[in-house]
Amino acid sequence: MINPTNNIDDQPLHSDLKMNLKMLQDNLGHSPDLVSRHFQVNSANKMPIHGAIVYIEGLSSSSSMLQSVYMGNHESSQYFTPTELMDYYKNSVIPEGAVFTLTSFNELFDMLLTGNSILLLDNCAQALSVDTKDIRARSVEEPNVQSVVRGPREGFTEVLSWNTAMIRRKINSRHLWFENYKIGSVTKTDVSVIFIENLVSDSVLEMVRERLQKIDIDGILESNYIEEHIQDKKYSPFPTIFNSERPDVVAAGLLEGRVAIMVDGTPFALLVPALFTQFFQSSEDYYERTDFSTLIRLLRFFCFLIATITPSFYIAITTFHQELLPTTLLYNLASQREGVPFPAFIEALVMEITFEILREASVRMPKTIGQSISIVGTLVVGQAAVEAGLVSAAMVIVVSITAISNFVLPAFNLGIAARIIRFLLMIMAASFGLYGVFICIIGIIFHLCSLTSFGVPYMAPLAPFNSTDQKDTLFRMPLRSMITRPKSLKPKNLVRQKKS
């Protein structure tokens, strides 16, 4: 006798229908959403064969399967053995395409809990799994985070099959390959690795496979679970894996020889390898004229510098290096700070923390009032702090410019890195002035040059310098001149297009 509670994953299905149903109910805690529909059909010895269709309510849409089985029982004038009847259902009755034969409880639970319907027969140690998933998810909508003025308006959803289909629509090629994994001992989340097999570097692809196979965790609920397990540096503020909710961005990365990782249950896909300059690029750069795209991209690099070093430069100059300021400006700043009781570092720190609180509050509050709180809070707090003499008006301007520049960055995770570095530079500026700021900047540059993303230097093609790849780094040259793919990614086929 099979024990219905111990090591069920290792047990084969029993030939007794009642025992199989009992084991299902016992191991699912007699959950009310486990539905079983019973039926019977005549057998070879004219004794009825009892069967059951089992599914999870809310995950499965089994009406078509139930109708097919009942009609097959009614129309069949033959007499079957249980095994023959199972083959008859699989080959002649059930219209759905994805029909699998199951022989163990491990396979049965995997199929049942992903939305499939299970057909069981008495005196038969097999079961049929029919794909009857009832997919209930939000429809394809415009991305909220990575929006563009010109370009596609579709974004990924939480359904993995829909997301992979959107990639298929973008890249209609037989070389577009998918590899599926189930990660998470409890959640058994579907993870899909996507690549173009005649473009992607074998070393990068093998590294992705090895790191995914090493993940041993109970659950995967979002793509960041995967990102933190496979990234090269775990404690660097700079992201070494790119994420996007736009199918066109993922398709463009695949065409360059990158690997995409998509997780069921989240609209954000991962792209590897990721380069530092990639986080300053937007899909809209390639949908606008080259001169305008280049100007905007240079503006993003400039805004990144403003978002990281502006408060530290203000602290260093007003605290240690007043001689660098013009006399008129120095008098104005001195008159503004005459009634401020705190040093410039404390003043900047308070304002930066206040703005971070307001930003986080606007994100967490309901959408109908979140924007009002951020605007009113910023205006009221800033104006009141200046009138109360707690901060100077110049500091409010510095913090405002810094915050606005942070929003220009197209990658949200790079903006987080800028916010972290900003506080580090402020501490160095308050301690050592401009000397501390430049020492810290040099240290950050060394750190950036030491990073890699799946074997590819993070600062490529700037360090190591590659002249060919400069056509799409700081500048965005015309598409007709970008003949080759990025050499730093080591694609199998370097040529993207023929010379015009």
DSSP string, 108-140: HHHHHTTT-EEEEETT-S-EEEE--B----PPP
* pLDDT score for 300: 95
Least confident range from 62-66, 153-157, 223-227, 262-266: namely 62-66
Euclidean distance between CA atoms 499 and 484, whole angstroms:
10
Alpha carbon distances (Å) from 266 to 114, 186, 388: 16, 18, 46
Euclidean distance between CA atoms 328 and 154, whole angstroms:
53
Question: Are 373 and 359 a contacting pair, CB within 8 Å?
Answer: no
Average pLDDT over residues 321-345: 82
What does the mean pLDDT of the chain come to?
86
Least confident range from 156-165, 304-313, 353-362: namely 353-362
* pLDDT score for 165: 92
Average pLDDT over residues 384-409: 83
Helices (H) and strands (E) in the chain, counts: 15, 12
* Radius of gyration for the alpha carbons in the chain, expressed in angstroms and rounded: 30
| HSE toward the beta carbon, residue 52, CA cutoff 13 A | 16
Tell which wins on pLDDT, 360 or 164: 164
Pairing assessment for the beta strands 269-272 and 242-244 based on DSSP bridges:
antiparallel
The string of pLDDT tens digits covering residues 194-248 is: 999 999 999 999 999 999 999 999 999 999 999 999 999 888 999 999 999 999 9
Question: Are 243 and 413 a contacting pair, CB within 8 Å?
Answer: yes
* pLDDT score for 76: 52
Euclidean distance between CA atoms 54 and 56, whole angstroms:
7
Domain ranges of the chain: 8-130, 160-274, 289-456
Tell which wins on pLDDT, 84 or 284: 284
Average pLDDT over residues 447-472: 92
How far does CA 435 lie from the centroid of its chain? 39
Using the predicted structure, report yes or no on whether residue 499 has a pLDDT greater than 80: no
* pLDDT score for 374: 60
* pLDDT score for 3: 44
Could you give the strand order of the β-sheet that contains 34-42, starting from the edge strand earlier in sequence?
34-42, 48-56, 117-121, 127-130, 99-102
Euclidean distance between CA atoms 281 and 414, whole angstroms:
12
